[in-house]
Amino acid sequence: MSLRQDTTRLTDPRTGIQRQEIPVSDAHTVAGAAARARQAQPAWAALTPARRSRLLLRLADSIEDHADEYVAAERAGTGKPEAEARGEVEQSADVLRFFAGALRTGTSPAAGHLLPGRESWVRWEPLGVVAAIVPWNYPFLMTMWRAAPALAAGNTVVVKPAETTPDSALTLGRYCEEILGPGVLTVVPGDRETGRLLVGTPVDAVAFTGSTAGGLDVVRRAGLRRVSLELGGNGPAVVLPDADEDTYRALVQACTYNAGQSCASPARVITLRENYEEVVEGLAKAMAARSAGTDFGPLNNPDQAARYDRVLESSAAGVRHVGDIATRPGEAGGYWRPGQILADLPPQDPAVQEEIFGPVLTVQAVAGHDEAVAMANGVPQALGASVWSASVDTALALAGSLDAGEVWVNCHLEQTPELPHGGRRGSGHGTDLSVLALSDYQRPKTVTVRRPGPER
């Protein structure tokens, strides 16, 4: 096993200028982090739920107390606008507070006399050491989505942040060392090879959020160990003729949040033929009101910008409505891309079939509801979707037919820690958020005791 001494150059997405250079974690560093996590895990798991909860709440307090530091770290690697970064830091603290409370709830089947002369119950035990490999689109929030339930369940965690956005995770790691103790949460910055090295260490589970190709690589390397995957989406939004006029603004706002770099963002608008022209016009007007640089940030890195360019250049869209870019002085070299509305598309157009992961909405027309559902379900991904209609009965019927882990009605991309989030088919498997997420990081053990005396 070779030991690498590489470094990675971090770039400001708003300017394209190098901002920092940090070491890439090599095999020795990764193995050491996993070993420290293994050593710390028994003591962390042995804490009473009340004590573990108090420590996680103390960490949440620390995040809020040092919010400016986390916001600056988050913006450094992502280029997010101040309001987006601050909101996501607040959400991260809220996720941690939720799981600090959830770990004290009982989720096991009731104990009792289930076999003759026996008493039985179920213990939920941690898996051990969890490798959390998180993406660059929401570096801090996705770290918390993975780490908070794993820590709450009694595991220790080794976080591998995305190569371009390690800043907020490294900040978290420093505070975790002080508040939770050494080895409870460790951060190993690096590139894809660092992630492969981490999966190759004797961790007990892998929680991965990223591309389909990356997820398949994790599965191949993880073997029989527990794996939780969130692999992105290409979300449909079914807009019916009776949808509210505000639908267009809401869809464009959701599509351009984080420059469209959200796995559950709306991407493919599906209408009936009778309201197709109205929808294209409404979305075009709404997109014209939002500018990259003023209303949303840049794409994250050169590879992502090249992906956006490739898909848009190869699209055969007959109608294109392109938004504006309004950057500040010095930002001309950043990874800025405008919002776009694409219409008059062939069914197999690359902009429809591929996840662009940018501020783009395609619009397609169908004859009726059944065809709308078939088109919505006609791509490999199945993460998020939405239905827009004034008829609750119609909207709920369509929502029930859509193959997605999360479906919104007359809204999109609205989430809370109390509700589960996860994908199906090409979008992976596993659960983020809600009390259900705890089961991804635990395993049940049934204990049965023979009672003295005659069996009954």
CA dist., res. 309 & res. 306, Å (int): 5
Choose, from 88, 163, 230, 406, the residue flagged as catalytic: 230
Active site residue 230: yes
CA dist., res. 262 & res. 258, Å (int): 7
3-state secondary structure of 293: coil
Distance from the Cα of residue 333 to its chain's centroid? 28
The identity of residue 224, as a single letter, is L
CA dist., res. 57 & res. 63, Å (int): 10
Nearest-Å Rg of the Cα atoms of the chain is: 23
CA dist., res. 387 & res. 390, Å (int): 10
Distance from the Cα of residue 272 to its chain's centroid? 31
Q: What is the DSSP letter of 330?
A: T
CA dist., res. 26 & res. 359, Å (int): 35
CA dist., res. 354 & res. 307, Å (int): 10
Alpha helices in 165-234 (DSSP H): 167-179, 192-200, 212-222
| Concatenated DSSP letters of 201-249 | SS-SEEEEES-HHHHHHHHHHHTTSEEEEE----EEEEE-TT--TTHHH
Output the CA–CA distances (angstroms, integers) from residue 8 to 5, 22, 79, in the order listed.
Answer: 10, 6, 18
Beta bridge partners of 365: 271
Choose, from 74, 84, 176, 263, the residue flagged as catalytic: 263
CA angle 248, 94, 227 (to 5 degrees): 85
288's tokens: 């014209």
CA dist., res. 38 & res. 196, Å (int): 18
CB proximity list for 51: less than 8 A, separation 6 or greater: none
Q: Which of 330, 331, 323 is CA-nearest to residue 298?
A: 331
Distance from the Cα of residue 405 to its chain's centroid? 13
How far apart, in Å, do the first and last CA atoms of the chain sit? 60
Cα-Cα-Cα-Cα dihedral sign, residues 189, 194, 196, 197? negative
Active site residues: 230, 263
